[in-house]
């Protein structure tokens, strides 16, 4: 499993205008129209990067641009239809200044085409303006378990948590739920309260039972903005590796510099995509 992540600064999108227009020309007509439909430029840039990521992956696996083809499941999960060996399963996520793609192939990929059971979600650690953390959690209360609520807002007898740690725990819980349902190809069609992530102990339960054969990998990203501010993101990759895989009963926490995570800024990524896909 690998993750490619692209970071961008929403306050400096004008610097990407020329690269954006050039990279847009690489896409097929249908994809280009979809990207240009967005009202806000930040959404168009994220949409463009999200379409270029799997195409760059295919190109590096020897697939000519002219033969690349994609489709979506009934639930809207994209997958590759180009006949390739070995097959590749992938998933895309984006939030604020990050677009990321998780993918697996060959023996690393459980054989359940066409969309494969792999999902990824990444979110910015932030509290909505004019909101308190307890109020924020209350909005999502029905989609959290009792244990998760106690992990986020400990009882008075427990040591207090900093707001940053509370946000980190909330978004780890939420991105795991998102990644798991995206891996299933169900999205919001799955009751999130059935999924429970005990963050302090790194244990996942589905309907109260630890899911056999599932691997959950945590990751953290930083996005350094031109203003000098730094955005902090957390995320989770969920993938099914087989019923016999009994070693995946806990969440894997990525090291500070995991070899499977590649991060680059948007300008460099677009330059590379133009050079490799436009050739």
223-248 residue pLDDT tens: 999 999 999 999 999 999 987 655 55
DSSP-based three-state secondary structure for 217: strand
- CATH top class, domain 2-278: alpha beta
* The pLDDT of residue 24: 96
179-224 residue pLDDT tens: 999 999 986 678 999 999 999 999 999 999 999 899 999 999 999 9
Judge residue 71's burial from the number of C-beta atoms within 10 Å of its C-beta, 0-12 exposed, 13-18 middle, 19 or more buried. exposed
Closest CA to 100 of 44, 32, 54: 54
Cβ pair 263, 5 in contact under 8 A: yes
- Whether the ω angle into residue 114 lies within 30 degrees of 0, i.e. cis, is yes
Q: What residues are paired with 195 via a beta bridge?
A: 206
Please, which residues have CB within 8 angstroms of residue 63's CB and are 6 or more apart in sequence?
82, 84
- Domain limits, the chain: 2-278
- Give the DSSP H or E segment for 120: strand 118-124
What are the phi and psi torsion angles at 278 (to 5°)?
Answer: -85, -10
Q: What's the predicted TM-score (pTM) here?
A: 0.94
Q: How confident is the model at residue 279 (pLDDT cuts 50, 70, 90)?
A: low
Cβ pair 75, 119 in contact under 8 A: no
DSSP state of 211: P
* The pLDDT of residue 101: 98
């Amino acid at each position: 499993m690998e993750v490619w992540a692209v970071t961008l600064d929403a306050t400096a999108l004008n610097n990407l205008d020329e690269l954006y227009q050039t990279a847009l020309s690489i896409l097929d007509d249908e994809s280009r129209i979809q990207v240009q439909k967005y009202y806000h430029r930040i959404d168009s840039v994220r949409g463009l990067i999200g379409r270029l990521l799997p195409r760059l992956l295919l190109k590096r696996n020897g697939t000519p641009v002219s033969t690349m083809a994609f489709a979506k499941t009934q639930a809207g999960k994209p997958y590759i239809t180009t006949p390739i060996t070995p097959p590749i399963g992938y998933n895309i996520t984006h939030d604020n200044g990050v677009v990321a793609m998780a993918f697996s192939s060959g023996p690393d990929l459980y054989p359940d085409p066409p969309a494969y059971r792999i999902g990824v979600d990444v979110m910015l650690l932030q509290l909505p303006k004019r909101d308190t953390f307890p109020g924020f959690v209350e909005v999502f209360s029905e989609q959290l378990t009792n244990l998760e609520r106690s992990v986020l807002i400990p009882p008075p007898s427990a040591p207090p948590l900093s707001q940053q740690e509370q946000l980190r725990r909330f978004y780890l819980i939420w991105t795991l739920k998102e990644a798991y349902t995206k891996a299933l190809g169900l999205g919001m069609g799955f009751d999130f309260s059935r999924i429970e992530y005990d963050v302090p102990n790194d244990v996942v339960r589905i309907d109260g039972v630890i899911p056999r054969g599932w691997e959950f990998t945590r990751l953290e990203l930083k996005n350094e903005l031109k203003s000098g501010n730094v955005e902090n993101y957390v995320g989770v990759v969920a993938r099914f590796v087989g019923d016999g895989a009994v070693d995946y009963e806990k969440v894997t926490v990525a090291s500070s510099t995991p070899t499977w995570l590649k991060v680059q800024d948007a300008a460099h990524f677009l330059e590379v995509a133009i050079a490799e896909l436009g050739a």
